[in-house]
């Protein structure tokens, strides 16, 4: 089986559930608080492995009480962790507040994620047999740029999810095989405000004009839009569910899509699989704890 490598963040998510978000200066009571292993990189790795991919993680955790818990969570879901480093300091922590509608606010403390260097990655990465590398934006940008260049030189596909959103230098677009963004990220990267499929088409065209091979724009409850440099484009509708917690929905989509692609599914079929995985995720609380298995995704699709 072709391997997926995820290079990115590993966090402990501290999730507080509230009726409504507080106003500035307001103190409110939380209904409960839970601790969930998360981080965009780790979430995508868990999603890929849970959906059937051979997946390994390169990242860093701290020498704090969360470090072993985060490593165990990855291992328990089938992710290879031999290249996850333990560094001095605290692990990454995300403070997440979730309201009754399943919407969330997230405050991120990068911890050891912010100290994952290109030297760390160079010492751990092996591109032999790798189908694709998944990247986000919760480790130093210099490290991400190194991976883009190294993977491209080795002929490995690079799937970039620039989240949190940031501008991408013009010379890096040609190194990205697939750019995966939500509405907010698409606007930052392309300069086009994305609200629907029509505006998503314009944003995708702008990014493809900069020599990115293909673009996927997720549009929440509307679904997702795909386009590539060969002129192919289509939209996939969302699956209607009642959301409980939207944390990790985008990461699940990306990891599940990667897993489906490694099994040889066509792009449209892989996106439908990923859409189902994300829909199932938002019906459950937490980050990695909400990510479904391949069997669960297929059963959900067959309903």
pLDDT at 245: 80
Closest by CA to 229, choosing from 264, 198, 204, 254, is 204
Closest by CA to 59, choosing from 70, 47, 48, is 70
pLDDT tens, residue by residue, 159-191: 999 998 999 999 999 999 999 999 999 999 999
* Helix count and strand count (H, E) for the chain: 9, 13
| Cα–Cα distance measured from residue 243 to residue 241, given in angstroms and rounded to the nearest whole number | 6
Residue 256's Cβ-side half-sphere holds a number of Cα atoms within 13 Å equal to 29
Domain boundaries, the chain: 3-21+33-302
Calculate ∠ Cα 181-186-192, nearest 5°: 160
Active-site residue list: 251
pLDDT at 101: 85
Six token digits for residue 136: 């986000």
**CA distance readout (Å), 208 to 83, 172, 191, 229, 266:** 33, 12, 13, 6, 20
Exposure string of 100-139, with b = 16+ CB inside 10 Å and e = fewer, is eebebeeebebbbbbbbbbebbeebbeeeebbbbbbbbbb
Six token digits for residue 175: 């190194």
DSSP 8-state secondary structure symbol assigned to residue 81: E
pLDDT at 286: 76
Kindly calculate the radius of gyration of the chain based on its CA atoms and give it in whole angstroms: 18
**CA distance readout (Å), 84 to 64, 72, 112, 129:** 15, 11, 11, 19
pTM of the model: 0.92
pLDDT at 1: 58
Closest by CA to 217, choosing from 208, 205, 226, 209, is 226
Place of tokens 């013009």: 170
3-state secondary structure of 107: strand
Q: Name residues of the chain where pLDDT drops below 50.
A: none
**CA distance readout (Å), 45 to 54, 83, 223, 235, 281:** 10, 13, 22, 25, 15
Phi, psi of 259 (to 5 degrees): -60, -45
Pick the CATH number of 3-21+33-302 from 3.40.50.2020, 3.40.1190.20, 3.40.50.720, 3.20.20.370: 3.40.1190.20
């Amino acid at each position: 089986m072709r391997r997926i490598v995820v290079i990115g963040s590993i966090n402990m998510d501290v999730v507080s559930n509230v009726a409504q978000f507080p106003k500035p200066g307001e103190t409110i009571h939380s209904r409960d608080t839970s601790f969930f292993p998360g981080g965009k990189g780790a979430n995508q790795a868990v999603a890929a492995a849970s959906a059937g991919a051979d997946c390994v993680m390169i990242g860093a955790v701290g020498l704090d009480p969360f470090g072993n818990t985060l490593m165990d969570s990855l291992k328990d879901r089938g992710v290879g962790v031999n290249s996850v480093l333990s560094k001095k300091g605290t692990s990454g922590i995300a403070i997440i507040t979730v309201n009754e509608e399943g919407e969330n606010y997230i405050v991120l403390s990068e911890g050891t994620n912010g100290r994952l260097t290109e030297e760390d990655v160079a010492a751990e990465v092996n591109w032999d047999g790798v189908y694709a590398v998944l990247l986000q934006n919760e480790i130093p940008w210099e490290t991400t740029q190194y991976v883009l260049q190294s993977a491209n030189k080795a002929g490995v596909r690079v799937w970039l999810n620039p989240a949190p959103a940031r501008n991408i230098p013009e010379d890096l677009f040609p190194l990205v095989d697939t750019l995966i963004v939500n509405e907010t990220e698409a606007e930052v990267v392309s300069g086009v405000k994305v609200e629907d499929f029509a505006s998503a088409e314009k944003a995708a065209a702008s990014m493809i004009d900069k020599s990115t091979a293909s673009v996927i724009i997720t549009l929440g409850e509307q679904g997702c839009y795909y386009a590539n440099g060969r002129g192919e484009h289509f939209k996939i509708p969302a699956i209607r569910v009642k959301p409980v917690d939207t944390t990790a929905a985008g990461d699940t989509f990306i990891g599940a899509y990667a897993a489906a692609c490694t099994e040889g599914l066509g792009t449209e079929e892989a996106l439908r699989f990923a859409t189902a995985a994300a829909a199932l995720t938002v019906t459950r609380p937490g980050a990695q704890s909400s990510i479904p298995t391949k069997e669960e995704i297929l059963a959900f699709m067959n309903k």
